[in-house]
Amino acid sequence: MNNVSQNRVCSGWHRQYTHDSEVLGCEMRFALFLPIGATTTKPVPVLYWLSGLTCTDENFMQKAGAFKMAAELGIAIVAPDTSPRGDDVADDDSYDLGQGAGFYLNATQEPWSKHYQMYDYISQELPQLIEEHFPVSSKKSISGHSMGGHGAITIGLKNPHRYRSISAFSPICNPMNVPWGKKAFSAYLGDNLELWREYDSCELLKRAKSELPILVDQGDADNFLAEQLSPEQLIKAANEWDSDVTVHMQHGYDHSYYFISSFIDQHLKFHAKYLLMER
Give the residue numbers marked as catalytic. 146, 222, 255
- The pairs formed by 39-43 with CB atoms below 8 angstroms and a separation of 24 or more are 39/135, 40/135, 42/135, 43/135, 43/136, 43/137
Measured between alpha carbons, how far is 101 from 185 in angstroms, rounded to an integer? 11
Measured between alpha carbons, how far is 8 from 152 in angstroms, rounded to an integer? 28
Helices (H), 36-104: 58-63, 67-73
Measured between alpha carbons, how far is 9 from 237 in angstroms, rounded to an integer? 40
Residue 230 zone, left/alpha/beta (φ > 0; ψ -120 to 50; rest):
left
- Phi, psi for residue 137 in degrees, rounded to 5: -90, 180
For residues 99 and 84, the answer to whether their CB atoms sit within 8 Å is yes
**Residues in a beta bridge with 28:** 19
